[in-house]
Structure formats: structure tokens, C-alpha cells
Amino acid sequence: MSKPYLRPYQKPQKLSDYPLGTASEAGYLVTKNCGWRNERPIIMDECINCLQCYLYCPDGVIFKTKSGLDIDYDFCKGCGICEKICPKQAIKMEVE
């Protein structure tokens, strides 16, 4: 399954714009959720691409790219688990 991405929010204009029940397409994200983060993880050059951070991230915000890994800061809460789990200390937390 591909990673969900942030989409523009369309404010409903009429009642029929609302779904029948409280259900909609899985992973349909329209709002960022990172407001309480005060430190952001930075992946540094020492990264060996072992994917431990990718597996342990509780919010699934670390994703694979062609060259390695990247972090979706729209949803990262700054918990620091990736920094703790990294065997090469290749992730540092930077105060925002």
C-alpha cells in the first residue's frame, strides 16, 4: 500500500457532499497532525538504511525514497523513538 499523502480539504457545500455514515476512503488525510512537536528528527549521512526507524516509528511517518529514507514532518510528533532505536546514532533530534 502506498503512503497516504496530504490532500487539499474541500469544505462540503451541501448536505449531499457528506458521506452516508462516518466512513470514508482509508488514509484520506486532509489535515496535518504535528502541532505538538518541539524537536524534529534529522537523518544524517551515517544512515546505513537498516530500516529500524522505519519499522519502529509509531506514526509510520518514515518512508523509503530511491536514495534512502525521509521523514514526513506533516505527521511526525517528534517522539524520538527513531533516534533511540538507530544503531548508528544517525538520527539526531533538533529543537524547533
Among residues 14, 87, 80, 85, the alpha carbon closest in space to that of 42 is found at 80
In angstroms, rounded to a whole number, what is the distance separating the alpha carbons of residues 88 and 94? 17
Q: Are 60 and 71 within 8 A, CB to CB?
A: no
Q: What is the DSSP secondary-structure string of 67-78? A: SSEEE-TTT---
Which residue number, 33 or 47, has a Cβ lying nearer to other proteins? 33
Selected binder of other proteins within 2, 8, 10, 24 (CB under 8 A): 24
Distance of closest approach, residue 20 Cβ to other proteins, in angstroms: 5
Please report how close the Cβ of residue 18 comes to other proteins at its closest, in angstroms. Answer: 6
Q: How far apart are CA 94 and CA 63, in angstroms?
A: 19
Task: Please give the Cα distance from 96 to 94 (Å, whole number).
Answer: 6
Query: Which one of residues 5, 6, 7, 12 is an interface residue with other proteins (CB under 8 A)?
Result: 12
Scan residues 27-66 and list those touching other proteins (CB under 8 A): 27-28
Segment contacting other proteins (CB under 8 A): 19-27, 49-57, 63-71, 75-83?
19-27
Determine which residue in the list 2, 8, 10, 25 makes contact with other proteins, applying CB under 8 A: 25
